[in-house]
Amino acid sequence: MNLIVNTYYRLALLLAMLLAASGVHAQINTDQVVNIGRNAMYFEDYILAIQYFNQAIKAKPFLAEPYFYRSVAKISLEDYSGAEQDAGMAIERNPFIVDAYQVRGVSRQNLGDYKGAVEDYDAGLKLMPEDKNLLFNRAVCETALKNYDEAQVTFDRLLQLDHRNDRAYIGLAQMNLAKADTATAFENLNRGIALSKNNASAYVMRAEIATRAHRDFESAVADMDSAIMLEPRYAGYFINRAYMKYNLDDYFGAMSDYDYAISLDPSSQEAHFNRGLLRAEVGDNNKAISDFDFVLKSNPSNFMALYNRALLHMRTRQFREAVNDFTAILKKYPNFEAGYMARGEAKRRMGDYKGGDADYEKAMAIFRRNKTHVSTFNPAEIEATAAIKKAEQRALNGNDEPETAEEIMNRFNTLLTVNDNDAVKPEYANRQRGHVQNDNIEVEPMPMFTLSYYARDNKLNGKTHYIREIGDINDSRLLSGTLTLVNGEPQLDEDEIQRHFSNIEYYNSLLSSAKPRSIDYFARGLDYLLVKNPDAAIADADAAIELSPQFTLAYVLRADAHYMQYRMAQARDEGMSSQLLAAAPDARAQAMLRQRQDVTTIDLLIRDLEQVLKLSPKNVYALFNKGNAHMLQGDFTSAISCYTAAIELKPDLAEAYYNRGLMYLRMGNKTLGVSDLSKAGELGVLPSYNVLKRMSR
């Protein structure tokens, strides 16, 4: 598996004072622009965030903050070079931003510049000597540089600060494996798993040791089962487990895992190649050819796929195709005498006896030149040797570990696994919200349903969300797009973002020159909401309601905007470090004020939802959202009542089962909680299974 590093972010997010429409034509307020960009980052709208930071940098290029936050946005998009550059610009302007060193270090680490990364981590540790993420990432880099003694010292320091840090033990295990000390690696993995059973990488590494060192495929499958339960959407885990099942003679299970891996990642060459090998072994030749066709279409230089397909074309009497394949093989390996023999046989089967005889003579000439009567030239072995050398070189560069010859060379019945040696990943600050498979993260409920132009269908159950009022407004064709309800914020690309800014300008002009209509205020408010400007959205919703008090969707829009305000405030409070809060002279007073504002925001949200239900009593999504609002207030019994009412109206509302299940668990009712989570998982809410696993410990 290519090295794909997931980074986790600690963002000091503030409640934004958002731009009014008239302000965009005048000199921009950089504080407001940066705050809006930070809000966008909270919603993981990194493209939108970068645009806001670009505006701030253009206006005031001497500020460090816009460069720093833009570097975080870029690293989230895996633009490591851009993130490294921006973090460097931030450091030039303010050398005391610890997180800037961390971002640049993580970027360099992903780019393979481990020495540069260590320098950044050391600089950060001078400012914050006990930062666990800096220590962990530094130790991983020292391991990659093969500075094992230094890595050991850093891991020991980390464990002195936090003796229950499971990732430190996993990092030590990675170092042990690099030193070929599988016994110690196994012990450290066991320690890490004992501390936290929610780290998929630990199970994958232990499965690898069981497979390579002990040929214990049963234990390996059990560990891969645990990893898959924690990260059920990663195709590579299913490919690895298929290899293990194959070695247990569970061909049906292996085939099922390959099929599912391809359903998760249809472009996976590894899954198609391995499934092709297995299909060939069980005699499903034509389907095996289809898999090798896919691999070669994606990667025409994959010699092993070409070689296997050539033999299968012979086996299935597709002689013309076999000739083409062997011709390509012989072009690369002109001394492959068995290849000439095979191509000659295919030509004769097609009636080309002259061509077949010519290939036969070429093979005989090579035999005579080598003074042998048996083919000794094996291109598959040559390809395997080259692959081993390439893998070893990647290992020297810190990108991968070499695979064994046995895993690479057997072209027919050894099923390759996807390497998952990136078990120890560099982190930028705290883990992301919503990644429930990680340790020490609160399980989050499904968010509220909100208005959007961008449908987010549940790919597991294919359901969309609809209410009558949305159908009516779409039928009127008065909006710039097709309105829908979504559960979770969709990501907008640059063109979509610009389209909403253009829409806002259009409605600014329209409302200033024509008689105002409630639908125009509603439409502009929705555009404001989609570019994370809830204050302006509320103002437009107010105007729409004043003109049309029975306009149900205007209340929905205003409720959505209040919800966004609340989440932005929470992001601000969660992101600001305790040191910064403590340093503020009026910190206590500010905290009390923010708390009162949050309570008021939720009250306004509930008031709008109640008005929606007054106008539309069977609006199941307003009931669900009201349940979420009560949950935010800590009123779990009222939340459960709302979810129950929503389920009665819509028995397949998976999100309601999931949230109600969480509420039951919060109240100590495991029986009802587990039942609801099981139903939610059945209806397609994947995090349900992780919660069920964690509750079964």
Banded model confidence at residue 456, pLDDT cuts 50, 70, 90: low
Q: What type of residue is 693?
A: K
Q: What type of residue is 122?
A: D
> Does the pLDDT value for residue 507 go beyond 80?
yes
pLDDT at 435: 29
What's the CA gap between 208 and 240, in Å, rounded? 9
Average pLDDT rounded to a whole number, residues 144-167: 93
> Does the pLDDT value for residue 327 go beyond 60?
yes
Q: Is the dihedral of CA 224, 229, 230, 234 positive or negative?
A: positive
- Distance, C-alpha 432 to centroid of its chain: 11
SS3 530: helix
- Count other Cβ atoms within 10 Å, centred on residue 373: 8
Phi first, then psi, for residue 484 (nearest 5°) are: -150, 175
* Nearest of 480, 487, 484, 482 to residue 505 by alpha carbon: 480
What's the CA gap between 688 and 697, in Å, rounded? 15
DSSP 333: -
DSSP 196: -
Q: Give how far Cα 271 sits from Cα of 144, 201, 413, 416, 570, Å.
A: 28, 20, 15, 9, 42
SS3 520: helix
> Does the pLDDT value for residue 569 go beyond 90?
no
pLDDT at 582: 43
Tell me: the pLDDT tens digits for 119-140? 999 999 999 999 999 999 999 9
* Nearest of 64, 54, 78, 69 to residue 13 by alpha carbon: 69
What's the CA gap between 239 and 602, in Å, rounded? 46
Phi first, then psi, for residue 451 (nearest 5°) are: -75, 145
Q: Is 162 exposed, middle or buried (0-12, 13-18, 19+ CB in 10 A)?
A: middle
DSSP 25: G
| 49 and 73 Cβ atoms separated by less than 8 Å | yes
> Does the pLDDT value for residue 392 go beyond 70?
no
In the chain, where the domains are located:
1-129, 452-695
Average pLDDT rounded to a whole number, residues 93-115: 93
pTM for the predicted model, two decimal places: 0.60
Q: Which residues pair with residue 484 across a beta bridge?
A: 452
pLDDT at 600: 83
- Count other Cβ atoms within 10 Å, centred on residue 286: 10
SS3 517: coil
> Does the pLDDT value for residue 301 go beyond 90?
no
SS3 486: strand
pLDDT at 11: 31
DSSP string of 117-173? HHHHHHHHHHHSTT-HHHHHHHHHHHHHTT-HHHHHHHHHHHHHH-TT-HHHHHHHH
What's the CA gap between 625 and 449, in Å, rounded? 7
DSSP string of 55-87? HHHHH-TT-SHHHHHHHHHHHHTT-HHHHHHHH
For domain 452-695, which CATH number applies: 1.10.600.10, 3.40.1000.10, 3.90.1150.10, 1.25.40.10? 1.25.40.10
Average pLDDT rounded to a whole number, residues 481-499: 84
> Does the pLDDT value for residue 361 go beyond 60?
yes
Q: Is the dihedral of CA 58, 24, 11, 529 positive or negative?
A: negative
Tell me: the pLDDT tens digits for 659-680? 999 888 888 887 788 888 878 8
- Count other Cβ atoms within 10 Å, centred on residue 664: 21
| 419 and 400 Cβ atoms separated by less than 8 Å | yes
pLDDT at 491: 75
Banded model confidence at residue 333, pLDDT cuts 50, 70, 90: confident
pLDDT at 415: 29
What's the CA gap between 55 and 290, in Å, rounded? 50
What's the CA gap between 588 and 117, in Å, rounded? 38
* Nearest of 648, 624, 481, 482 to residue 556 by alpha carbon: 624
Banded model confidence at residue 616, pLDDT cuts 50, 70, 90: very high
DSSP 403: P
Tell me: the pLDDT tens digits for 161-197? 999 999 999 999 999 998 989 999 999 999 999 998 8
pLDDT at 401: 45
516 contact partners, CB below 8 Å, separation of at least 6: 543, 547
Which of 93-107, 457-471, 486-500 is predicted most confidently?
A: 93-107
> Does the pLDDT value for residue 571 go beyond 80?
no
Phi first, then psi, for residue 462 (nearest 5°) are: 65, 15
What's the CA gap between 346 and 352, in Å, rounded? 9
Q: Give how far Cα 660 sits from Cα of 24, 303, 420, 588, 619, Å.
A: 43, 54, 36, 34, 18
Tell me: the pLDDT tens digits for 395-442? 455 444 443 333 322 322 222 344 444 556 565 543 333 223 233 334
DSSP string of 224-278? HHHHHHHSTT-HHHHHHHHHHHHHTT-HHHHHHHHHHHHHH-TT-HHHHHHHHHH
Is 452-695 in the same CATH topology as 1-129?
Answer: yes
* Nearest of 271, 334, 326 to residue 303 by alpha carbon: 326
CATH architecture of 1-129: Alpha Horseshoe (1.25)
| 70 and 89 Cβ atoms separated by less than 8 Å | no
Comparing 69-73, 99-103, 327-331, 680-684, the range with the smallest average pLDDT is 680-684
Regarding predicted confidence, which is higher, 167 or 45?
Answer: 167
Greatest alpha-carbon span in the chain: 98
Q: Is 325 exposed, middle or buried (0-12, 13-18, 19+ CB in 10 A)?
A: buried
What's the CA gap between 416 and 151, in Å, rounded? 31
What's the CA gap between 291 and 285, in Å, rounded? 10
What's the CA gap between 83 and 108, in Å, rounded? 9
Q: Give how far Cα 675 sits from Cα of 320, 445, 678, 682, 694, Å.
A: 59, 16, 5, 11, 15
